[in-house]
Amino acid sequence: AVVKYLLCVVRLQHAGRYNDDFDDGEDIAEFDDNDFAEFEDVSEDPAVDVEKEPPPRAAPSSTPIEDEEDEATVENEDGQDEFEDADAQDQDMYSKYDNEEFEGHEKTNPSFKDTLIYREVPAHLQNSWESYYMEILMVTGLLAYIMNYIIGKNKNSRLAQAWFNSHRELLESNFALVGDDGTSKEATSTGKLNQENEHIYNLWCSGRVCCEGMLIQLKFLKRQDLLNVLARMMRPVCDQVQVKVTLNDEDMDTFVFAVGSRKAMARLQKEMQDLSEFCGDKPKSGAKYGIPESLSILSEMGEVTDGVMDSKMVHYLTSHADKIESIHFSDQFSGPKVMQEEGQPLKLPETKKTLLFTFNVPGMGNTSPKDMDSLLPLMNMVIYSIDKLKKLRLNREGKQKADRNRARVEENFLKQTHAQRQEAAQTRREEKKRAEKERIMNEEDPDRQRRLEEAAQRREQKKLEKKQMKMKQIKVKAM
Amino acid sequence: MDLSAKIIYKPPNTETNPTLEDPTPDYMNLLGMIFSMCGLMLKLKWCAWIAVYCSFISFANSRSSEDTKQMMSSFMLSISAVVMSYLQNPQPMSPPW
């Protein structure tokens, strides 16, 4: 019976697949053995059912194809589909058959077609790179950063070289030493720019009268950093060339002066130690002295402005006003104000006679190497200023005023730090006493010890007497 | 043009005020290390990727006098954080939206 059952199943499957042969199949059934005759009626129902099965099975199988956007997985789903189809088909037929064959058998729920669950394959097991799109984005970002680094670095390097090529002749004719990176103990002229960073280049020139030396810093934009490039798209900034000339004491008279763009002047007056102390007035407009309105002047006294603003200087400033950020001459230059945590510093900061020039490179970031030639006249102005200041001397009145200013500043400073200096003096005195006592204690010879002790006692007595005298004097004066 | 003046060699750059120097490379280095540690300990892929970016930015902004060993170590740490996160969990990163 089992064999007949199996054979029948095979026939039914065969019948279900080839609908063309369906009629033939029926005919064959009629002419078959009596063994199979009993299955004749039964064969129709499952056959009909089988016919019905493929179309509804086809319907759900098509929808998953539509649902799945991922083309690569359609094949898998289809394969699974077919598999599940065949399985379900068999099971269905078997259950139907069981119902007919066996009595008392519970009818199993044949709703397989409703509860087909299509499991999603985990993304990392799928053979597709598309699911890793975030990683690809990240790597692309990194590659973009590296590309920008290389391009930016090269651009900065080309700009620096272009600047140096156009200025080399002028510098070499004026200075004996051009380019020294400070690595060797003696002064050696390397004749090259010193690269501090991917965006900062230094050049030290020395060996000229009227000045100690000149440090030129090419402060380019950070073209090598992509973040900086993006930030600059929001807020455009310029490349800058900063020239700092340090002078010997005899090369400059005592005054403080600055000229530059209005914004720069306002900022410098707040930031710079010497400008805030000596140039208290608000920046004056440059129009009074024949230079463009966009420039303003900070000066210690009017005489200084008159002295600096001669016709040639005015000519320089007028023709290159757009490139000048700030020009700062000072004999009390000590850099920007230093914020100290423990209150005021005990000593006045060290000052040096300095000329500080800051120039903007034209192009507002989009500079080309050709723009560097336009900075050459500004370097001429620097050299001219150095020579001029050597000759510029204040008259007697001006000098007196300048000296008074400096004395005033020093006095203010001393007043502010009075309390602290007192404390420091006190501690120093105590230290001295302690050191002396120790010396006496350490002395081996008892005689010498006694003598030293007596000497210390005598000194203390003298001090007390002096103090008493002073007090008496003050009292007398008060009276 | 009178070259009778004395020649002085350039004073070392250490004279420049350290507070004026750009703190970006140091901050980025520190951030990079923090993100790598987070990525390694908490198995967060995006932390590790950000660490790689931080170490690149720190390298781009670094001064030439700075130690290359420091740069290399931070770079290697961030790369190892990325590799470890993917070995532990090969699933692709999911966007936060």
The CA distance from A46 to A12, in Å, is: 8
Q: Which residues of A touch B56 (CB under 8 A)?
A: 142, 145-146, 149
Q: Would you call B3 and A207 a contact, using CB atoms and an 8 Å cutoff?
A: yes
**Whose CA is closest to A170, among A368, A322, A381?**
A381
- Which residue, among A127, A134, A136, would best test binding to B if mutated, counting the most B CBs under 10 Å from its CB? A134
For residue A122, the chain B residues in CB contact (below 8 A) are: 91
B37-50 confidence digits (pLDDT tens): 999 999 999 999 99
pLDDT range class, residue A225, cuts 50, 70, 90: very high
Distances (CA, A) of A198 to A70, A106, A224, B27, B37: 47, 84, 7, 18, 29
CA distance A410 to chain B (A): 23
Question: In Å, how far is A211's CA from the nearest CA of chain B?
Answer: 8
Predicted model pTM: 0.68
**Confidence (pLDDT) at A279:** 86
What confidence score (pLDDT) does residue A335 get? 84
Please state, rounded to an integer, the average pLDDT across all residues of chain A. Answer: 79
Q: Does A227 touch chain B (CB under 8 A)?
A: yes
Does residue A230 have a pLDDT over 80? yes
pLDDT band at residue A154 under the 50/70/90 scheme: very high
Closest-CA residue of B relative to A173 is B1
Cα(A223)–Cα(A220) distance, integer angstroms: 8
Number of inter-chain CB pairs under 8 A, A vs B: 101
pLDDT tens by residue, A176-200: 888 877 777 777 778 888 888 899 9
Strand partners for A272: A336
Asked which of A58-62, A133-137, A169-173 is least confident by mean pLDDT, the reply is A58-62
> Are A255 and A300 spatial neighbours (Cβ–Cβ below 8 Å)?
yes
Cβ burial B43-72 (10 Å sphere, 16+ → b, else e): ebbbbbbbbbbbbbbbbbbbeeebeeeebe
Residues of A in contact with B12 (CB under 8 A): 182
Interface test with B, best of A153, A170, A208, A211 (most B CBs within 10 A): A208
